Structure 1
């Protein structure tokens, strides 16, 4: 496996921070409202990005099993955190904390790192793991977030209207029926992943442009940091070591799972919070802090975890 070089993370970090800065400028100088951007991401850009990734990846039963496993793990973590957080946080905060606990910045931040550290087969495995986390975000995660402000019936109604679920089913149908989409369609869809990344990070800056110092909630941020940089790395390490003890586990899959466990908080925390109106400012601050900490913590974590699992 490729040694972990802290410099590997600086390119993705500075790119993401530049996008956040552009969003901050858009909010402060141009008075851009981030809410329509969040709606655009959830109901149009994310589903098309998700559809393209699945169709291009050529899902197999093995890949889909990995997707299902990550979806189940993320959902279980979020449900447990939601039950625990209700006793110490307000409803909106506990809902946002629960959503963030099941996901991470596996796409905007993790994918560029995966492309450096993993061979093509490992990148494919990583992507199908990420699909499981993304599917969690727009189903179970979205429901838990909505429950911070809406009834069960209203929350379920919001999920049914999410097009990403139908994009997932459509991609499985296209792949299962061995349908080849026209080149012009695939070329058109190629613009959406970059747009998804750009707007997904800019919306953090747009939200931060409205934040005041009084909105700093170190108790909430501390809980987010503990889940993202303490619980998830330990879970990923335990999961990989447990699988190694039970079944033959390729080094590519092991490192892909470890990487999913150490990425910073997901930018979609802010996107979903903005769409549902549940404390997006607090989410944006927590995402920014965990992203700034990533270049310091991730090389340390991955180096140690690779040694413990025999990958280096």
Structure 2
């Protein structure tokens, strides 16, 4: 019960941000497209640059985002091929994109602070780069491919500044170029703004749900099954293989990986769906439902894993 109450205390403020997002569109008539652009083209690149320039680049730490980026990318293309047979429109693109990532930032980082020791929290935050890079590169490409040709989709990906922010951050890190101290606190403010605006956008994307039918039961069922069953299963299989045969990681890294696998659908998928106009209301509802389910699912999974 104490774990559940602690988790509830971490997650409840996020729901307040969702409510603020609903109010901002329904009452204040704010433009959600503008918020989506701020998140994708300004805040995400700055956060990626800050993280990559500060992390200690050792093999085991570098492995984590690379592993999850490749896993997400491979899953996305496989799921897209499978679900093209289920939906004839770009719903299959949206499902493949959204279920191959998770809310590792807005929900995952508070969970990491709650359940992991400080040095593992830093590893988790660096691993979150995998989600950001996937969502803004491969995920963006797959979602855009529902409307654009492969060449047009790739062109849109190459215009995303988060890719170049990552390359620049890694370059500065390898050259031992440090961020000026005056910007350290500012980078923390950026993370807070990113989390709040990301969850607000989720609420802003739900503005039309009351008047239109976006409850696609088949879409919801598939997304929840992949996110809450397939993801942890794949990670547990990898942990078993590494623990018994490869011995590359330790128990601390296993905890990071498992926690990474049990977060709900990412709120940032709504950002991409909004920018590309690929059923953002349907995506918002799916994310909202998965976030509600995770309130009970996450403490249960952590209890099962630790025991």
Return the TM-score normalized by structure 1.
0.94
Find the aligned partners of 2:179 and 2:124 in 1 and give their Cα distance: 24
* 1:162 shift after superposition: 0.3
Equivalent positions of 1:118-197 (< 5 A) are 118-197=116-195
Could you report, residue by residue, the CA deviation over 1:269-303 in whole angstroms, capped at 9, with x for unpaired residues? Answer: 10110011100001000000010111211111122
Find the aligned partners of 1:189 and 1:297 in 2 and give their Cα distance: 31
Find the aligned partners of 2:284 and 2:10 in 1 and give their Cα distance: 18
Equivalent positions of 1:293-304 (< 5 A) are 293-304=293-304
Partner-residue secondary structure (3-state), 1:210: coil
Find the aligned partners of 1:4 and 1:128 in 2 and give their Cα distance: 28
Residues 214, 285 of structure 2: 8 Å contact kept = no
Residues 81, 98 of structure 1: 8 Å contact kept = yes
Runs of 5+ unmatched residues, structure 2: none
Residues 13, 291 of structure 1: 8 Å contact kept = no
Matched, 1:282 2:287: no
The residue number in structure 2 matching 1:305 is 305
Equivalent positions of 1:39-188 (< 5 A) are 39-188=37-186
* 1:82 shift after superposition: 0.7
Find the aligned partners of 1:274 and 1:84 in 2 and give their Cα distance: 24
Find the aligned partners of 1:91 and 1:163 in 2 and give their Cα distance: 29
Residues 233, 301 of structure 1: 8 Å contact kept = no
* 1:240 shift after superposition: 1.4
Shifted more, 4-13 versus 166-175: the winner is 4-13
The residue number in structure 2 matching 1:26 is 24
Runs of 5+ unmatched residues, structure 1: 308-312
Residues 44, 132 of structure 2: 8 Å contact kept = no
* 1:188 shift after superposition: 3.0
Shifted more, 30-39 versus 230-239: the winner is 230-239
* 1:127 shift after superposition: 2.1
Partner-residue secondary structure (3-state), 1:300: helix
Find the aligned partners of 1:123 and 1:180 in 2 and give their Cα distance: 21
Return the TM-score normalized by structure 2.
0.95
Residues 114, 123 of structure 1: 8 Å contact kept = yes
